[in-house]
Amino acid sequence: MAKISIEIESSGKTVIIRITDFGIGISKENLQRFGSKGFTHGKTDGNGLGVYYAKRFVEDLGGRFDVQSEIGKGTAISLSLPLVEITSKHSILIDPNQHLLILEDQPLIQKAIQLKFNEAGVAASAYSIFSIPSELEQWIATNTTDFKLYSDYFLETDCGDQLETGVQFIKRLGLSEKSILFTSAFDNCEVLSAAGDLGVEVLSKDQFFESIILT
């Protein structure tokens, strides 16, 4: 039976999770592509999305995803995640007269949002999550219900194609008064400037997940 070692340690304001196996390892050539979309290793039916989205999820939280491997000795994955002080400066209001829309392209983040709302007792019918702007735009065009939008900034398809940003989408549809941006690029000057021009509030992903849900 293969062995896997998991270690967790705290260093300053960072928690580090190390996952080590003692398997066949990954070649240097494949290691350079490890974590890129579409690259799979050791699976005949793999699609390369698992590690890709795991890496993006960690980086979206402001962390680091590092891999070291050697043929014949195994592979070690290190996840460095920032420790944050939980704050409740933002509240997500679930209004029965207002549908909550969320534009987020990452499946792992979508699952985390669903878990957050489920734990808060929010009915699935109270909100909708969309992966790409066109899906959300179609919902808006075919629904008369009032809504509030939380949008990520960087968006892409499963094929890795870059889409218009959350700010561009909000501006194009004139949704600034109904929208809030939540993004890992919350401290990016370009993002802040674009959001500021529209008068749209910017939250970090941490702030979004730490928000109190009011029903």
Residues of the chain with CATH 3.40.50.2300: 91-214
- Banded model confidence at residue 46, pLDDT cuts 50, 70, 90: low
Q: What is the mean pLDDT of residues 137-164?
A: 90
Q: Which residue has the tokens 């996840």?
A: 79
3-state SS, 7-75, equals EEEEECCEEEEEEEECCCCCCHHHHHHCCCCCCCCCCCCCCCHHHHHHHHHHHHCCCEEEEEEECCCEE
Q: Among 32, 53, 30, which Cα is nearest to 43's?
A: 30
CATH code, 91-214:
3.40.50.2300
For residue range 118-141, list pLDDT tens digits in order. Answer: 999 999 999 999 999 999 999 999
Q: Which CATH class is domain 4-82?
A: alpha beta
Q: 69: exposed, middle or buried (C-beta count within 10 Å: 0-12, 13-18, 19+)? A: buried
Residues of the chain with CATH 3.30.565.10: 4-82
Q: Does residue 41 register a pLDDT over 70?
A: no
For residue range 84-109, list pLDDT tens digits in order. Answer: 665 557 899 999 999 999 999 988 89
Residue 36: what pLDDT? Answer: 74
